[in-house]
Amino acid sequence: MNVVGVEHQDKIVCQNISKVFIQKGNQRVHVLEDINLSVKENEFVVILGPGQSGKSTLLRIIAGLETPTSGKAILDGVEVAGPGPDRGLVFQSYMLFPWKTVMGNVELGPKLRGIRKKERREIASHYINLVGLDGFENHYPHQLSGGMKQRVGIARAYANNPELMLLDEPFGQLDAQTRYFMEKETARIWEAEKRTVLFVTNNIDEAIYLGARIISLQGKLPGRMHRVYEVDLPRPREHTDMKFLELRHEITEASELTL
């Protein structure tokens, strides 16, 4: 159903999204309040916030895994009604199927959509190459390091050719150096195959390095929109660039005020 009042080039629009969870023990947890944002086609948007700010929930609402208590998420003019292959989700804890090989994991999306074996092998191989894991097609997840597992996660999401890529703190479980490496890889992969991306993180450096626009949520529940930052730096970005550091300073100061 098409929704009025949405600009044509807006890929995603969130209108007045609020979310209240009812937990066992009969408690209500108010996680999101009044979220309004819009993302353009092929834009790399970062949602930044400390822990417990509801950002993962927001991502899951856009993914269709949760329904908002009020408000709606709109993708390409159509309201989000549930999970689907038009959105790819990369999980923080990788969520690879341990009983499938790398190839098996990546080709699962096409397989579920009925694509023939030869074709889906090609698609999967292409994306395994893209993330830099060629040669590891027949490895099982337990044989891979954390960074490699996450790359499989990214390839798996890409292989389904989604309209939208959603990444939920994908590098949260990696050590600092692997994290820098994965940030560079993510930027490289996105440049190679552009998609609209919503990237959730709590790391300010990561947000500035990757995002064209940063939407920060305030630091306590319920999560509310705090500030929006435009990142105007040319790619590839440098963590030690003057303007990078200035922006970093600005965001850090602003975040401290809300905690």
Q: Which positions lie near another protein, rule CB under 8 A?
A: 22, 24, 26-30, 63-65, 82-85, 87-89, 91, 93-100, 108-109, 112-113, 136, 139-145, 148-149, 156-157, 160, 221-222
Tell me whether residue 22 or residue 228 sits nearer to another protein (CB atom): 22
Contact between residue 176 and residue 97 where contact means Cβ atoms under 8 Å apart? no
Contact between residue 171 and residue 180 where contact means Cβ atoms under 8 Å apart? no
Torsion sign over Cα 19, 153, 194, 84 = negative
Minimum CB separation of residue 102 from another protein in Å reads 11
Tell me whether residue 171 or residue 209 sits nearer to another protein (CB atom): 171
DSSP state of 203: -
Element at 227 (helix H, strand E) = strand 225-230
Minimum CB separation of residue 144 from another protein in Å reads 6
Minimum CB separation of residue 72 from another protein in Å reads 19
Helix, strand, or coil (residue 152):
helix
Residue 196: φ, ψ to 5°: -75, 130
> How many whole angstroms separate alpha carbon 42 and alpha carbon 190?
9
Tell me whether residue 38 or residue 161 sits nearer to another protein (CB atom): 161
Residue 168: φ, ψ to 5°: -100, 95
Tell me whether residue 19 or residue 237 sits nearer to another protein (CB atom): 19
Tell me whether residue 96 or residue 189 sits nearer to another protein (CB atom): 96
Comparing CA positions, the residue from 86, 102, 91, 190 lying closest to residue 142 is 102
Minimum CB separation of residue 27 from another protein in Å reads 6
Minimum CB separation of residue 115 from another protein in Å reads 11
Residue 29: φ, ψ to 5°: -115, 120
Minimum CB separation of residue 202 from another protein in Å reads 19
Tell me whether residue 181 or residue 244 sits nearer to another protein (CB atom): 181
